[in-house]
Structure 1
Amino acid sequence: MESGHPAPGAPARGAPARGRPRSEAVERAILEGVIKLIEDGVPLAELSIERIARTAGVGKATIYRRWSGKEAVFVDVLRSLEEPPAELPGTSVRDDIIALVEYLRRRGLNMRSSAILHNVFAQMKSLPKLWQAYHETVIEPQQRRMYAVLRRGIENGELRPDIDIVFANELFVGPMLVRTVLRPNAPLDEDLAERIVDAVLAGLRPPE
């Protein structure tokens, strides 16, 4: 997959350009330019920084001041279309895990209703660099949140001390991912997250 490289000395993603304040309007125009190209049927593999810049009405340097390459742009496009991260109530490990799994359910509903998201995710499977960038910036932070909740559950006695948090995370999110990804026509009932979490917790709680 072809990607561009920032000009020497260009600030990394997230850092403002020297002497110029970041412009949310410019960033929004760039992201919307990518969305327009996708809506017009342009494959991700054919989207170059030059084409994105032309569509957004900006120069290539404007993009490189904000992103390291087109994979980073695509990831931010996906993030702009997704719901914000789940807010954890903090009342119990059960409640926090339900919030995290419920986020996946809502994301699945969003995927079903968004032709753009469905199209991009289908193409990402053949674009390893994009999938890696998405995994590092979106999926891994979600995993770390779950790991933190599980560790807290072990520390405060809500969960057994011998559980493997990586495996436990897979037990919680796996059923929801099956429903949202592998079985796109399966029902996503409003109480699905709660049912999944309670079923898994039954095997992870310490004996009374």
Structure 2
Amino acid sequence: MSQTRERLPAQVAAGSPGAGGSEGSMSSGRPAGAARPPGRPRSERADKAIVEATVDLLAEEGGVAGVSIEAVAARAGVGKTTIYRRWPNKEALIIDALAALKEPFPAPVGASVREDLIAIAQAFVSNKTDKKRLDCYWSIMGGAERYPELMARFTREVIEPRRDVIRTVLRRGVTAGELRPDLDVETALWLIMGALAQRARAFGAGPVPDDFAARVVDALMTGIAAR
């Protein structure tokens, strides 16, 4: 499976480790920021149609196996060559489509650990209130054993940068004396993300209480705040 790195323009804020997601332009194998070769300009409308078609198929067909370049092309109303000019293979397209579903975490402003974690938790929760997004996410998670390389790449390129945002907040809190000096950052990370993800899995898409993110963070802070 290709290990070429591809990115979506929609994930501008999400790409840097400090912003929590993928960054850069949708790739056809060219390094991010490199000059585009001469030729016909790419159509943003086609880009969007292709990504949306991929997301729809992932949700409707229940996973990676139900997605093909032929099906995406037919759904998006483009030719297969249009897709291959942008992505080298199906796996690269799926990674970009999944990245498009992930709203960027807000950049930590540094007011306090609690405020930053609540803002991140609210962004996480709001990203899980759309049924199609959830269907895509769980279809990929459910197929992790069948597509280990795809899952590893999805984790590395889409999930880990978001986790890094939380790690940054927690480590800053330790340094500033807001959090316990002996804090296990990874355990705290999994506690907050696990609680938020499990809520989405248990209850699915739909309204979330306005104070849910704050309640999760406050429960966590009870155990990790400096005393």
TM over 0.5: same fold? yes
Output aligned runs, 1:169-180, within 5 Å. Answer: 169-180=189-200
C-alpha distance in 2, partners of 1:33/1:184? 22
Output aligned runs, 1:36-115, within 5 Å. Answer: 36-38=56-58, 41=61, 44-110=64-130, 114=131
C-alpha distance in 1, partners of 2:57/2:218? 43
Output aligned runs, 1:182-197, within 5 Å. Answer: 182-184=202-204, 188-197=208-217
Partner-residue secondary structure (3-state), 2:127: helix
C-alpha distance in 2, partners of 1:35/1:185? 16
Amino acid at match of 1:153: G
C-alpha distance in 2, partners of 1:186/1:34? 23
CA RMSD in angstroms, aligned pairs only: 3.1
Gap runs ≥5 in structure 1? none
Task: Give the total of aligned pairs.
Answer: 198
Give percent identity, aligned residues only: 35
Out of 23, 29, 38, the residue aligned to residue 11 of structure 1 is: 29
Q: CA deviation at 1:82?
A: 4.2
The structure whose Rg is larger is 1
Partner-residue secondary structure (3-state), 1:190: coil
> Which stretch has the larger CA shift, 150-159 or 65-74?
65-74
> Which stretch has the larger CA shift, 51-60 or 131-140?
51-60
C-alpha distance in 2, partners of 1:138/1:19? 30
Which one has more relative contact order, counting CA pairs under 8 Å at least 6 apart? 2
Q: CA deviation at 1:206?
A: 1.9
Asked if the contact 2:59/2:136 (under 8 Å) is kept, the reply is no
Q: Which has the higher helix share?
A: 1
Q: Which segments of structure 1 move beyond 6 Å, counting only runs of 4 or more?
A: 3-6
C-alpha distance in 1, partners of 2:194/2:62? 32
Partner-residue secondary structure (3-state), 2:128: helix
Asked if the contact 2:178/2:225 (under 8 Å) is kept, the reply is yes
Matching residue of 2:134: 118
Out of 171, 177, 180, the residue aligned to residue 151 of structure 1 is: 171
C-alpha distance in 2, partners of 1:42/1:202? 39
Q: CA deviation at 1:29?
A: 2.2
Q: CA deviation at 1:13?
A: 7.2
Alignment CA distance shift 1:84-1:120 (3 Å) = same
Give the TM-score of the pair, scaled to structure 1: 0.77
Alignment CA distance shift 1:16-1:136 (3 Å) = farther
Deviations 1:40-79 (A, max 9, x none): 6586313222332344343434323322422222232233
Deviations 1:9-43 (A, max 9, x none): x6347566521444322211211332454576586
Matching residue of 2:46: 26
Deviations 1:144-176 (A, max 9, x none): 111111111111111122111111111222222
